[in-house]
Structure 1
Amino acid sequence: MLSRRSVTFILLMVVVGLNLRPALSSVAPLLTRLQEAAGLSPAAAGVLTTLPVLFLGLAAPIAPLLAKRLGSERALSAALLLLAAGLILRGLPLPGVLFIGSAMAGAAIGISGTLLPALVKRELPESADLLTGLYTMALCLGGALGAGLSVPLTEWLGSWQASLMSWSLLALFALILWQCQMPSTISHGMPQPPSSGLLKLLRKPLTWQVMLFMGIQSSMAYIVFGWLPTLLVDRGYDEASAGWTMAISIMCQLVSALGAPWLARMGSDQRPALLLVLFSTALGLWLLLIAPLAWKWPGAILLGLGQGGSFSLALSLLVLRTATSRLAGQLSGLVQGGGYTIAAIGPFSVGLLLQSGVHADQIAWLLILLVGVCCGFALLAGRTRQLDDQSGKLQVHRY
């Protein structure tokens, strides 16, 4: 039976999670409009879609330091405030603020996303992987709302600037709710060992296997967030239809985000589940971007199921591959920092490819090849291994 504290934390986790994707997914349906209104080239648009992901990766390793100084709860409050400020800034009619605000939002998401897995491991350690699925479902719902409502909000509010700024209201709501109801044990922030502990983690192949899996699957996700509507428009969709196709795909992520951790628990390790969701991602990309247009809805569904499951399992690996909440916090910072920095290459590369005249179907084949590479790291990261330093020495053992 869950305590009142646990239920409150779960609800707060969901509300915060809803805020960690609209900043990314709300831009993609408006990207063609932004290119026309702001005179952005495909390469500049690639920078715009890449900046949040890059700063997400650069900021993630800062999260454990903030948690040590401020406490995990207050650090998360600061991240939500930074997110709201970035969302407001990017819609102001000033030169360069679209890029600056996007970078601020990405940094805030990186800090928040790194803090939450360790908080989950601390608050409910026995169900950390399943709660990570619930948290991922909240992320996916936020992403779907950002993609689906972006164009309608532009029509209702009269401008794309107001549409982008409106998401700050959700961030401010989460900040107020978190401040009023956050767990009271500030002193239980994520304690950190000396920096040599991080170096020891980096020497473990398991750390790199999880990081590279996280990075490649995240790159796929942010390519979809940043460019899928543009690629669909290239195939003949109108702007609103492309946005809603992406929104439906992201909505389908809700199912696999919640269900993938349960599926992963059914076997002795996570490799079958990881390969299943990656195959679904590859097939969804093929149906959406290469097969006849009549297959768009099966493609959107399969892509959503694959990507939701991939991300949910990637976050689950952060808690499944660590024995303590402190190690989960450290691994989260390293894996998300390195992984999202790697992921930032994807959206920018797609922008360069489009500027070079590469067609959507050719890009799709490159993405499917990338999924195949990701399968190799899934086979390594999905094994039943766990980092543990409770003996005073960092070890990797089977469990």
Structure 2
Amino acid sequence: MRSIEREPGAGIARPEKAEAGFHPVLIGLGLMLVAFNLRPALSSIGPLLPGIRAETGLSGALAGALVTVPVLCLGVFGRLAPVLVRRLGPDASVLAALVVLALGLVLRGLGGVPLLFLGSVVAAAAIGIVGVILPGIVKRDFPDQAGLMTGLYTALLCLGAAAGAGFTVPARRALDLGWEGALMLWAAPALVAAACWLPFVHARPLPSASAARPSGRLWRDPLAWQVTGFMGLQSSLAYIVFGWLPAALVDRGLDIVAAGLVASVSALAQGVLALVVPTLAARRPDQRPWVVLVISLPLIGFTGLLVGPLAFAWGFALLLGLGLGGCFGLALTLIVLRAGDPRAAAELSAMAQGVGYCGAALGPFLVGIVHDLSGGWGLPAALYAALCLGAASFGLLAARDRTVRI
């Protein structure tokens, strides 16, 4: 199906929650708290991965699977989000997913490799569902500030990733925990987020019939597939970093604490362009210059960390983090901008994240295999560069001034 030119303001619904008595600031704070909890479950594994492999004997392939399976679950279970929204409404669906997220985080800390994988799957399923729902909520409640709100919650999501990467090992040592207890700690903020989101639960659908069953036309729209391709490939870039950066730095000579701090600085830097890029990109109809910028930075940063001089590790980490934050913020912004109304945003979000994350799961797994086969980080760096080029290709197509048909 051929995409059409965007008509400003077409199909925009006014915020419903404001009419229900919720101040926009409170809604925004709730969204930020939810967003913070969507990455520690994923980024906290990487710093502990060397210790987990030493204690459990995980091979490189299985360690790659430990990183890959949760990413795959983001896509597989993200497809359940529209079903839950039709039955419960978006707000109740977010609340239920937060509770499931906390359960998964507890499960993976109960001990043993099977529960580690099971808990990771449960937690990732919940994250995938929430991630699909949030763009529709932003389009519904903040139609005139979509870029700003997308940037804010993306920045908090990146902050959560930084917290998972940087604080897990120090917390383990400070509290004298095993890797199981260190992973379980992240259930606490998820429960706090659930408690704070509870007042917003009204079990109602998105406006403009967005809770209706998908029409199927979106799956025949080239623009929708371009947005999906960019979402999937940029996600693969990020999850390769989450899963393998600390281990790669340890292999190259850094101790585990220093490697975790480098990963944390990189994740923390994501918040800068995650906030700036959506806010500025949404002001113009064409986002192609932003695609070039945000893809170039991780290409330089991650390949530098894998094969470049470690004396420049902090600089490479900064470039990497800025680029990944910008990539993710731009991907979410494209979902909102390429959709003409909240219903389209909800359907495009489900497609882009559901399909995109399934494809993204291959990245960390392939890096693990290539690293095992080569015994070094040169070939993984080349693979990462190829994925960057693929992401740029899809992004340049998705960033044109068009909207999808549904």
Q: TM-score, normalized by length of structure 1?
A: 0.93
1:391 maps to none
Please identify, of 233-242 and 311-320, the stretch whose mean Cα deviation from structure 2 is larger.
Answer: 233-242
1:28 maps to 46
Q: Answer yes or no: is the 8 Å Cα contact 2:339–2:345 preserved in 1.
A: yes
Distance 2:203 2:47 in 1: 41
- Name the SS of the counterpart of 1:363 in structure 2: helix
Distance 1:323 1:268 in 2: 13
Question: Which ranges of structure 2 fall in alignment gaps of 5 or more residues?
Answer: 1-14
Please identify, of 149-158 and 325-334, the stretch whose mean Cα deviation from structure 2 is larger.
Answer: 149-158
How far does residue 353 in structure 1 lie from its aligned partner after superposition? 1.6
2:335 corresponds to which of 287, 295, 318: 318
Cα separation, partners in 2 of 1:273 and 1:31, compared to 1, 3 Å: same
Cα separation, partners in 2 of 1:74 and 1:183, compared to 1, 3 Å: closer
How far does residue 267 in structure 1 lie from its aligned partner after superposition? 4.2
2:83 maps to 65
How far does residue 288 in structure 1 lie from its aligned partner after superposition? 1.6
Please identify, of 11-20 and 154-163, the stretch whose mean Cα deviation from structure 2 is larger.
Answer: 154-163
How far does residue 185 in structure 1 lie from its aligned partner after superposition? 7.0
How far does residue 357 in structure 1 lie from its aligned partner after superposition? 3.2
CA deviations over 1:28-51 (Å, ceiling 9, x no partner): 000000001112111111111111
Distance 1:235 1:375 in 2: 29
1:397 maps to none
How far does residue 368 in structure 1 lie from its aligned partner after superposition? 1.2
Check if 1:120 corresponds to 2:141.
no
Q: Answer yes or no: is the 8 Å Cα contact 1:5–1:183 preserved in 2.
A: no
Q: Answer yes or no: is the 8 Å Cα contact 1:235–1:360 preserved in 2.
A: no
Check if 1:164 corresponds to 2:179.
no
CA deviations over 1:86-144 (Å, ceiling 9, x no partner): 00000102551100000001100000001111001000111112211111001100000
Check if 1:229 corresponds to 2:235.
no
Q: Answer yes or no: is the 8 Å Cα contact 2:370–2:379 preserved in 1.
A: no
Please identify, of 312-321 and 148-157, the stretch whose mean Cα deviation from structure 2 is larger.
Answer: 148-157
2:103 maps to 85
What is the aligned-residue RMSD (CA, Å)? 1.6
Report 1 or 2 for greater relative contact order, CA contacts < 8 Å, sequence distance ≥ 6.
Answer: 2
1:17 corresponds to which of 26, 35, 38: 35
1:387 maps to 404
Cα separation, partners in 2 of 1:268 and 1:121, compared to 1, 3 Å: closer
Q: TM-score, normalized by length of structure 2?
A: 0.92
Q: Answer yes or no: is the 8 Å Cα contact 2:102–2:188 preserved in 1.
A: yes
Q: Answer yes or no: is the 8 Å Cα contact 2:303–2:384 preserved in 1.
A: no
CA deviations over 1:33-84 (Å, ceiling 9, x no partner): 0001112111111111111111111011110110010111111111001100
Q: Answer yes or no: is the 8 Å Cα contact 1:21–1:143 preserved in 2.
A: yes
Q: Give the fraction of aligned pairs with identical amino acids, expressed as a percent.
A: 46
Counting only pairs closer than 5 Å after superposition, residues 116-265 of structure 1 correspond to structure 2 as 116-157=134-175, 158-179=177-198, 181-182=199-200, 184=202, 186-188=204-206, 191-195=210-214, 197=215, 199-265=216-282
Please identify, of 110-119 and 265-274, the stretch whose mean Cα deviation from structure 2 is larger.
Answer: 265-274
AA matched with 2:126: A
How far does residue 325 in structure 1 lie from its aligned partner after superposition? 0.5
Distance 2:88 2:256 in 1: 44
AA matched with 1:314: A
Distance 2:55 2:329 in 1: 36
Cα separation, partners in 2 of 1:88 and 1:367, compared to 1, 3 Å: same
Check if 1:308 corresponds to 2:325.
yes
1:109 corresponds to which of 122, 127, 138: 127
AA matched with 2:352: V
Cα separation, partners in 2 of 1:292 and 1:177, compared to 1, 3 Å: same
CA deviations over 1:254-290 (Å, ceiling 9, x no partner): 1100000233245440000111110111111232222
Distance 1:221 1:289 in 2: 15
1:278 corresponds to which of 295, 301, 304: 295
Please identify, of 42-51 and 256-265, the stretch whose mean Cα deviation from structure 2 is larger.
Answer: 256-265
Please identify, of 182-191 and 259-268, the stretch whose mean Cα deviation from structure 2 is larger.
Answer: 182-191
